[in-house]
Amino acid sequence: MFGFSEAFIGEIFVLLLLIPVLTRPLFKKQKYADSIVMVSPLCIVLSIVLIVVYGLSWSRIITGAFSILVLLTNMRALQRFGSRLYVDYYSLAFRIAAAVETLLIVCTLVVFFFFRPSVPSLYPERTVYTGSFTHGFTAGYGLFRRINLVTYRYGNCDSGKSVQDRPLVVFLPDTYTTAEDSQVRLSACTQKGISVFTGDFYVDDGGIAGGIRGFSSLLLRYGSTKRFFLHHLVHANETFSQEIRQKLIEQRRREAESLLVLAGDFAQSLIIAAEGDSLQTAYALQKKYPLFVLGVFDSSAGLPYYKRGTGDLFSVQPLDAFFMFYKTERGRTGSSFGGTVRRFFALQNEEREKKSYGHFAEALYSYMEGIK
């Protein structure tokens, strides 16, 4: 809608709803029931819904934080409204707090527009599964059963071939990214007649939990938190990071095997497009299933902005990418916040001009032509 993603529109909508709550002292001078204050708890509910539906991100954390702040600021007003009391005046302290919060929200709206995500040319067909690596995965879900896998199909996957009769492509993201992070790249493949099948797993049969314990292990088991948590694991301390990286690689091997099983239901042969640590998994699968896996394509090749743990976040989640970029840059000598911001936007503009997602699709197309 309007060239914006649904999640972005939802975040902007919640922030805009908060402004009338904070600016109401400017428009009401006489006694009245302060009913508009009920919008503040509604915004908290909407913020939670955004996180559940679209997953955790810095923009949704900021949106939720503002919703909570506005609710706390208007707590007395909520109590008055619940007691059916009318409002005679607003205290000076409330007016100052409301003015400051309004200014912060307006500035946040401007920042969000600068960091708005790119919208893929085509959204994939999504299928949800329940199950496990041990017992297999079944399409569909029950009311009291957790979703353990979400697959994404770009192009005509049902026949296992594209319109130009090419094999299916199974995409494996790097250890610190998800398939959803590469939706702009993968949707560009459909314009070249390439069919892509990929997925994100939210199950742990003793894989990752052995390296991450307690509350942190739960963050990798749910779609609303796994993506955000993975993005920031790359900046963990070196000892912890190496241990978790090996666990993630082991987990990715099991995930790749399961994806091949599902892809085998509608494909006679396929090519694996993988990047980073997933490349070694892809080569192992090609060696194991040489008649089924025709080749392995390095999907990070030709992407000058690609780094482990960032993937396509410059496009699909710019604000999260900025926080990760800032963590990397702040250790540089003479690095300032303003300079980091300028370098980030310079890299982002360079990526938008070069349109690496299109180069990726072209390179994959050429690779598939070469192995026909």
pLDDT digits (tens, 9 = 90+) for 230-255: 887 766 655 556 777 788 888 889 99
The CATH number, out of the four listed (3.40.50, 3.10.290, 2.40.50, 3.30.70), of the domain defined by the range 125-370: 3.40.50
Q: What is the pTM of this model?
A: 0.84
- Most confident residue range from 47-51, 141-145, 174-178: 47-51
The confidence score (pLDDT) of residue 315 equals: 81
The confidence score (pLDDT) of residue 162 equals: 43
- In one-letter notation, the amino acid at residue 143 is L
Per DSSP, the residues of 27-38 read T--S-B--GGGG
Angle at 116 between CA 113 and CA 122, to 5 degrees: 140
- In the chain the first and final C-alpha atoms are separated, in Å, by 39
The confidence score (pLDDT) of residue 206 equals: 53
pLDDT at 80 over 70: yes
Strand stretches in 90-177, DSSP E: 125-132, 136-139, 149-154, 168-172
* Alpha-carbon span 250 to 208, nearest angstrom: 8
Contacts of 273 (CB under 8 A, 6+ apart): 169, 170, 171, 172, 196, 296, 297, 299, 364
Angle at 138 between CA 133 and CA 144, to 5 degrees: 95
pLDDT at 45 over 50: yes
The confidence score (pLDDT) of residue 163 equals: 42
The confidence score (pLDDT) of residue 337 equals: 78
pLDDT at 109 over 60: yes
Which tokens in the block code for residue 78?
């909520």
Indicate the DSSP class of residue 54. Answer: H
* Alpha-carbon span 297 to 160, nearest angstrom: 18
- Listing from the earlier edge strand, what are the strands of the sheet with 168-172? 136-139, 125-132, 149-154, 196-201, 168-172, 270-274, 293-298
pLDDT digits (tens, 9 = 90+) for 252-297: 899 999 999 999 888 889 999 998 889 999 999 999 999 999 999 9
Domain ranges of the chain: 6-114, 125-370
